[in-house]
Amino acid sequence: MKRRDFLKRAIKVFFSILAIAILSALVYIYPSKIKNRKLHYIYLMDEDELPRKGVRRVEFVYKLEDKIITNRVFVAANNDKLTAFSPVCTHLGCLVNWDNNKKEFLCPCHGGKYNMNGDVIAGPPPKPLTRLPLEIKDGKVYVGIKV
């Protein structure tokens, strides 16, 4: 092989290695532990504290990987039907607030609005508020969240 051809080939090999290195770097950047969130039922409140009518914001505390996390849900009672809503706005993930005068959920980030059933009435959210499963056992209310 001529020296010139050898060098040309060496350059090709060099760039192939470089390409492999860049691809490996992209794999390296991607987090290795994307765990599957599992549904956990967490104690929310006693049954007699449930709202009869209207929406109540309920805060609850749980432990995850040695970290104490405070989270919240909205429990809505409408015509004897009980629903728990996740406060996470379906637009870009801010936490919504309940406006009791206007009877709507309002997102502070981009003005998304949901009615008492969690349906979008204004703003950019693409989906209604996520409904969370509620479980009542021995007079205690548990909410199912994925952690």
Partner 1 sequence: MGKIFDWIDSRFGVKEPHKRFLQRPVPENINYSYCLGGMAFTYFLMLAFTGILLSIYYVPSEKEAFKSVVMITNEVTLGWLVRSLHKWSANLFIIFIILHTIRVFVYKAYRPPRDLNWMAGVFGFVTAMASGFTGYLLPWDQKAYWATEVGTSMFGTVPLIGDYLMYAVRGGLDINGTTLIRFYSLHILYLPVSMAVVLWAHFHMVKKQGIAKSL
Q: Which is nearer to partner 1, 93 or 139 (CB)?
A: 93
Distance CA 135, CA 137 (A): 6
Separation of alpha carbons 120 and 14, rounded Å: 55
**51 has which bridge partners?**
none
* Distance of alpha carbon 56 from alpha carbon 15, whole angstroms: 61
Element (H, E) at 44: strand 39-46
The residue type found at 80 is D
Q: Which is nearer to partner 1, 92 or 136 (CB)?
A: 92
CB 67 → partner 1: shortest distance, Å? 9
- Please, which residue, 85 or 91, has the CB nearer to partner 1? 91
Please state the closest distance from residue 132 (CB atom) to partner 1, in A: 17
End-to-end Cα separation, the chain, in angstroms: 62
Nearer CB in complex with partner 1: 45/109 = 109
CB of 24 to partner 1, least distance (A): 14
Binding site residues, partner 1, CB under 8 A? 29-31, 33-35, 37, 91-94, 109
Shortest distance in whole angstroms from residue 110 CB to partner 1: 8
